[in-house]
Amino acid sequence: MGKSAYETDFYGWANQQAALLRSGRLSAADIEHIAEEIESMGKSEKGELISRLTVLLTHLLRWRYQPAGRSSSWSATIKVQRHGLARHLDDNPSLKPLLPKALEDAYQDALIVAADETKLGESAFPSVCDWTPATVLDPEFWPEA
């Protein structure tokens, strides 16, 4: 059995499926793969949330635990990530209830990165995030040492 367009030409397959859906020809559409791709898109949005939180948390940890290294670059990264997270959550409001768990997951990665970048070691930081999602996203929040 030959490979389907889904496996050999994803771009062509996607355009074909979109045309079929728009024309109402659902019986001709590759429903199983369409559903799989939609689920994958949802996972990507959740992944972006965790990724942005990881970058933000890393810089907030560095800001708090390495005050001598504070720079306009760190400040800009914190602000950009906050803006990006706000946009991402506005575009995907159903991600908001996932914020507490996403923050926990992101913190574990941020802890590793911050420990490496500061050379302080993981034991220098709290083992769990002591900030709430609202605090982390608050543009007025700048953790002090």
Task: Tell me the pLDDT tens digit for each residue of 61-119.
Answer: 999 999 999 999 999 999 999 999 999 999 999 999 999 999 999 999 999 999 999 99
Domain annotation covers residue 103? yes
Domain annotation covers residue 3? no
Domain annotation covers residue 1? no
Token pair of 31, please? 């429903």
Determine the structural domain holding residue 92 and report its residue range.
44-137
pTM comes to 0.85
Number of domains in the chain: 1
Contact 50, 105 (CB under 8 A): yes
Domain annotation covers residue 2? no
Average pLDDT over residues 37-42: 89
Domain annotation covers residue 4? no
Domain annotation covers residue 9? no
| CA distance linking residue 54 with residue 56, whole number of Å | 5
